[in-house]
A and B are shown apart, each in its own frame.
Chain A
Amino acid sequence: MHAAPAGESSGARPRSPAPARSGTQSDRRTERVLGALAAGVLGLIALMTITVFAKAWPSFSHNGLTGWFQSGGDVDQQLREMLTSGTQGGHPTYHLRAWPLLWGTILTTGLAVLIGIVFSTFAAIFIVEFAPAPVRRVIEPIVRLLGGVPSVVYGLIGILAIAPWVNHHLLSESRKSSVEYLVQLAGSNLSTATLILTVMITPIMVAIVSSSLAAVPGPWTEGSAALGVNRWRTIWRISLRTARPAIIAAAVLATARALGEAIMLSMVSGGRGFAANPIDGITFLFEPVRPLAATIVQNSEALSAPSLGRTLYAMAAVLMVSAALLSLAGWAAKQPLKRYGIRA
């Protein structure tokens, strides 16, 4: 670029760094192009958010913001009515009280994450601390494999193998008849759905927690051992404390995944918008539910219908807001730990 022209004597003046000619221009061009691309992707995301909320607004405004979230009547019937309802004087005549769907979402997601995080933490401790070396080598690909299984395969196993088993072995006739007037109990119910959902979100949590446990600084655990604290207590008081940000992050990520799980839940959760009642005791575990995401998938053909379509967008909006609130909560939960030197 700055070579002396051929033929000049080698004893010429020393070359001084000359400014690059077109380099800066091409740099600026590339930066503008890439920046525009980034802005474009951002615009798409923003468009998605705005559109979903815009389409969702009529549903909220029609039912009232508090009314939408309450319970009142049979949600499935209300959804069906929306397809057939017309307008009266320019206003749609349907109404929706979506509490059963919300409660189903809260139940399945909450229970799955609770059980899952406890189970995953213990499994992660096992993998990092107690597993013999050959077992540890095998477990890592196993966990990754488990995480890669498509949700429809989980759903298939659930609906074709687990649900009939539950129906046959765990549900007695007397239990079914006891609530017959209200709802039909079958193998596809809350417990089956929660169980499979737990298995689905476990790999994420195990991976995050175990990598954080493995990164606990050696001097801390050695110092604890030298003070006469046994291995389990060292894990409990030092390693888990250091891994707490990771556990929180894992729980947040798993909750986001569980919230968005539509296909498996639509196959296995019972398909009825029913608000499972904890007061029912053990029967509560066998009642059908249908979370929000599953509802959207099951009614997806009707997206172009005015009332039902807007309702589905309203459900999507609720899901998106929950996911955003979730990451905010996770971020907030990690802040106090930074003070003591535990960095996520």
Chain B
Amino acid sequence: MATRATPLTAPGGAPLAGRPRDSIAAWPLADRLGYLTCWAAGIALCLVTAAIVLFMLVKGISYLRPSLLVQSPQGSLDQSKAGGFLDPIVGTLLLTALGTALAAPVGVALAAWLSEYARPAWLARTVESGVEMIAGVPSVVLAIFGLLVFSQGFLSFLSQTSAGGSVFGKSFFAAGGMMSLLALPLIVSSTREALAQIPAHVREASYALGKTRATTIWRVLLPSVRPNIASGVTLGMGRIIGDTAIVVVLLGATLQTEGAGGAPLLSTLRGTGSTLTSYVYTNSPTGEGNAPQKAYAAAFVLLMLVVGLNAIVTRLSNGPRATNAERSPLRRGLRAVRTPWTR
């Protein structure tokens, strides 16, 4: 009676009218100008992004050779001839790993405290503002503060000490420590928002079973926000990879990673080196090296890393949540609780 498939003609056979008719041609001039400006802005945005990506793609492909990725930089005067940027790549990976390893546990713990405990109230508010403040502080300021801290005598084990007794203060430890401050606000905010979304009945159910708050957090709440923690950590990693100021100030700016002392990993971490970002900075006309081709190649690799990380974040925020949302948080959370009755 009421449903009929295509074609759509009126019962009397008359033609149907249906296109939306808020015709822009009928608008006053000012409105039409506004409409055009919006379109222009949108198109400009796409064009600019396309230009940047294409430009870097072209330059990168033309200058990137696989040999660059596996050779260490040579300390010759003419940078464009010799060596690759293996050490900077290693430096980037090392620094990112160090920074993330420091930031992730502290960030998650901080977020859990702010979300679940938050006592005394003045401390919670101050910590909140403090974390927001770090997010707003320029990384240069973090860098020079880091230099101050790590040049102190009691932290000399984290970097080298020169013959005259003054602590060098620049090492992977120093840079990694300050980098973790960069990633911290991102991890804290992602985790906090996710924890706030967990409905109250999940926590109540866990307490009603006799679990302590600590166990609830560790075994019920945090596992259920794992994707959000992961995406926060990835965002933080992106920020660390892209930062140059801290590296320039705190990593010693030696082309090759130079360890200090004997122990295998520790010596590298206590030593100096460079990352892709400082490599690009140094090889650009601003720095001392004069190898724009290598700078382009390194910048291309950097960009690929960042794009890859972005893709991971997109997949993390769209993929697992789709499946996780199908299961109710209660079941997810209760699954992790162990009582004498569950086997």
Task: Report which A residues bind B (CB closer than 8 A).
Answer: 1-3, 20, 23-24, 26-27, 29-31, 34-35, 37-39, 41-42, 44-46, 48, 51-52, 55, 119-120, 122-123, 125-127, 129-131, 135, 138-139, 141-146, 148-153, 155-157, 159-161, 199, 202, 206, 230-233, 236, 256, 259-263, 266-267, 271, 293, 296-297, 300, 303-304, 312-313, 316, 319-320, 323-324, 326-327
Contacts and interface: CB of A to CB of B under 8 A. Distances in A.
Interface stretch (B34-42, B77-85, B255-263): B34-42
A175 B287 CA distance: 28
B117 A34 contact: yes
Contacts of A51: 145, 148-149
Given A34-B109, A156-B280, A319 B141 contact: yes
A38 B114 contact: yes
Contacts of B299: 152-153, 156
Interface residues of B, number: 90
Contact of A297 (B34, B109, B149, B249): B249
Kindly name the residue among B48, B49, B141, B306 whose own CB sees the greatest number of chain A CB atoms within 10 A: B141
A179 B88 CA distance: 42
Interface stretch (B11-19, B240-248, B266-274, B328-336): B240-248
A305 to B, nearest CB: 12
A156 B45 contact: no
Contacts of A157: 52, 55-56
Kindly list the 7 A-B residue pairs having the minimum CB-CB distance in the complex, ordered from nearest: A260-B138, A150-B242, A126-B42, A122-B41, A30-B214, A34-B113, A23-B212
A224 to B, nearest CB: 12
B38 A130 contact: yes
A308 to B, nearest CB: 12
Interface stretch (B67-75, B125-133, B192-200, B222-230): B125-133
Interface string B285-315: 1100000100110010011001101100110
Contact of B42 (A34, A38, A139, A324): A139
Contact of B35 (A37, A232, A316): A232
Given A131-B42, A148-B238, A232-B35, A319 B138 contact: yes
B101 interface: no
Given A126-B41, A231-B22, A139 B245 contact: no
Kindly name the residue among A152, A313, A324 whose own CB sees the greatest number of chain B CB atoms within 10 A: A152
Contact residues of B: prevailing secondary structure:
helix
A263 B339 CA distance: 55
17 contacts: A20-B210, A26-B215, A31-B119, A31-B213, A48-B145, A130-B35, A139-B46, A141-B314, A144-B313, A150-B242, A150-B306, A157-B56, A160-B295, A161-B55, A300-B140, A300-B144, A319-B140
Contacts of A230: 22, 27, 31
Contacts of A135: 42
B137 A143 contact: no
A21 B125 CA distance: 32
Contacts of A260: 136-141
A213 to B, nearest CB: 11
A151 B244 contact: yes
Contacts of B123: 35, 38-39, 42
A260 B246 CA distance: 12
A241 B130 CA distance: 31
B236 to A, nearest CB: 12
Contacts of A316: 140-141, 144-145
Contact of B280 (A34, A39, A141, A152): A152
